[in-house]
């Protein structure tokens, strides 16, 4: 029995209408992710006997966004091969087009080229939607290229912090004014005001602040030398930024005091192939442990600098068999069942909801530490994980810097229970994992996965074994 959708608990199920969604072409002018016939209130996934099959990893959201920006800063078009088509990447494309980028669809993906800049007395509105990555990257780049810009976003996005990045930009001469609450969107930015030189940024709440400045260094004559003040949240994502800068031919130099210098390079890049997304692949490995069976995910780079690739060791330590090969990662449920872990997860925050789902089914207490910055994501993910664990019948204690989860779940009765997702794509994927082994769970607003992985539920359905 496949999954079905319902509008409210207790009402008759509405047949899954996802197959009615017309195919869309990224950057073709068709942007609607929510057709009128797409019921989005709840999704029910009946428990399964096992999982079995192969899934192609979706393109990396992190790599796609970095490639889009760097291609738009290139003097000649760059073909981005197999870019991710999602809510976040579409938002960035729209903003780059508003700044002057040329974006064309190709048989392999997108052709993107500059120059960026809209010399004008009128503000160019840049609406980043729900994308925190786009907002942070655009804030720094808009300050480096000609024009006047008003950077804004959704109600959700304007609550996410920007203060540390704004302070760093101002210290380097950039004219950035808050059009609302100080340190948050909307921001009024005078382009071309960012000066070459040394910049210090506090990236303890988001490594995106550091990445934004590094990427903007390409657009500043003479480049930028950027240093973080204190620890950097999710530092592996900064490594991804540096790797992408090098792939595009730009100069990256690391200093003895931790500073990183970035200047525009002279080597031209004609094409960039987007690797698979580890953040979106991890739920499939988790599914093998929770439901039993074996799953392979293709298209992932291994070895990989990706932040969430590091979480694969945690998956293995929780009792899930993992085999790593270049181009394919396999996971299978272990004969001894799932086991709890205690782990520092600061470097791979996007993996925590999926790891927490595994922990809910492990006998004993699991601890995930160093994740205070999860409260500043699309939702407060620490509170979100706590709510999911409670709904599943597991004990979860949340602190400022971490969570402790005690499994296995003990659900009284069989009455339908809502799994809140808080419109957060990673929480929705974690909720789907709980549904594989527990009955009568209703996943709220499942369409929020469109932010990073619109085909997640389609792909998950292909590996579910119910007979």
- Bond prior to 115 in cis (omega within 30° of 0): yes
Under 8 Å between Cβ of 284 and 55: yes
Cβ neighbors of 359 (< 8 A, separation 6 or more) are 318, 338, 340, 341, 366, 368, 405, 407
Q: To which H or E segment does residue 287 belong?
A: helix 278-291
Alpha carbon of 316 to those of 276, 358, 464: distances in Å? 20, 11, 21
Nearest to 85 by CA among 211, 278, 274: 274
Q: Are 294 and 277 in contact, with CB atoms under 8 Å apart?
A: no
Q: Could you give the angle at the alpha carbon of 384 between the alpha carbons of 381 and 387, nearest 5°? A: 155
Nearest C-alpha neighbor of 94 from the set 141, 138, 128: 128
Tell me the two tokens of residue 417. Answer: 């229970």
Of 159, 110, 172, 166, the closest CA to residue 138 belongs to 166
The structure tokens 């579409």 sit at: 90
**How many Cβ atoms sit within 10 Å of the Cβ of residue 22?**
7
Alpha-carbon separation of residue 122 from 126, 148, 170, 369, 388 (angstroms): 13, 7, 21, 47, 46
Give me the DSSP letters along 46-65: ---SEEEEEEEPPBPHHHHH
Alpha helices of 50-162 — where are they, by DSSP H? 61-72, 87-98, 132-144
Give the tokens for residue 17: 């209408």
CA pair distance 438, 47, nearest whole angstrom: 6
What are the distances in angstroms from CA 48 to CA 30, 439, 458, 464?
A: 35, 10, 15, 6
HSE-CB of 129 using CA atoms within 13 angstroms? 19
Catalytic entry in 202, 306, 347, 350: 350
In the block, residue with structure tokens 């996971």: 331
* Helix-then-strand count for the chain, H and E: 12, 25
CA distance 293 to 52: 6
| 380 catalytic residue (yes or no) | no
Known catalytic residues are: 350
């Amino acid at each position: 029995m496949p999954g079905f959708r319902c509008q409210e608990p207790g009402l008759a199920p509405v047949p899954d209408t996802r197959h009615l969604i017309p195919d869309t072409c990224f950057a073709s002018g068709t942007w609607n992710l929510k057709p009128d016939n797409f019921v989005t209130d709840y999704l029910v996934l009946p428990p399964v006997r096992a999982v079995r099959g192969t899934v192609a990893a979706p393109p990396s959201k992190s790599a796609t966004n970095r490639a889009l920006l760097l291609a738009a800063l290139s003097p000649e078009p760059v073909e981005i091969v197999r870019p991710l088509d999602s809510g976040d990447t579409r938002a960035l494309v729209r903003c780059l087009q508003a700044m002057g980028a040329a974006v064309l669809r190709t048989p392999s993906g997108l052709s993107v080229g500059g120059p960026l800049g809209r010399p004008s007395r009128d503000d160019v509105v840049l609406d980043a939607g729900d994308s925190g990555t786009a907002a942070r990257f655009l804030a720094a780049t808009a300050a480096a290229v000609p024009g006047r810009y008003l950077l804004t976003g959704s109600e959700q996005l304007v609550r996410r912090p920007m203060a540390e990045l704004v302070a760093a930009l101002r210290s380097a001469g950039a004219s950035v004014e808050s059009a609302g609450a100080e340190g948050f969107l909307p921001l009024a930015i005078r382009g071309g005001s960012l000066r070459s030189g040394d910049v210090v940024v506090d990236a303890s709440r988001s490594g995106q602040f550091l990445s934004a400045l590094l990427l903007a260094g390409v657009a500043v004559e003479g480049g930028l030398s950027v240093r973080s003040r204190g620890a950097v949240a999710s530092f592996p994502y900064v490594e991804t930024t540096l790797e992408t800068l090098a792939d595009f031919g730009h100069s990256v130099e690391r200093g003895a005091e931790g500073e990183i210098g970035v200047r525009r390079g002279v080597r031209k890049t004609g094409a960039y192939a987007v690797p698979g997304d580890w953040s979106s692949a991890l739920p499939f490995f988790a599914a093998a442990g929770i439901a039993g069976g074996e799953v392979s995910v293709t298209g992932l780079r291994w070895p990989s600098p990706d932040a969430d690739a590091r979480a694969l060791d945690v998956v293995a330590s929780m009792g899930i068999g993992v085999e790593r090969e270049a181009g394919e990662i396999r996971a299978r449920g272990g004969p001894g069942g799932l086991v709890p872990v205690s782990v520092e997860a600061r470097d791979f925050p996007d993996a925590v909801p999926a790891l927490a789902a595994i922990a809910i089914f492990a006998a004993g207490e699991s601890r995930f530490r160093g994740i205070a910055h999860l409260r500043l994501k699309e939702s407060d993910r620490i509170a979100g994980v706590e709510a999911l664990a409670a709904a599943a019948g597991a004990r979860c204690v949340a602190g400022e810097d971490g969570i402790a989860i005690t499994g296995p779940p003990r659900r009284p009765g069989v009455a339908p229970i809502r799994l809140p997702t808080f419109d957060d794509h990673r929480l929705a994927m974690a909720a789907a994992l709980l549904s594989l082994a527990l009955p009568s769970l209703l996943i709220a607003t499942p369409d929020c996965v469109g932010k990073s992985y619109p085909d997640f539920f389609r792909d998950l359905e292909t590996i579910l074994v119910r007979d």
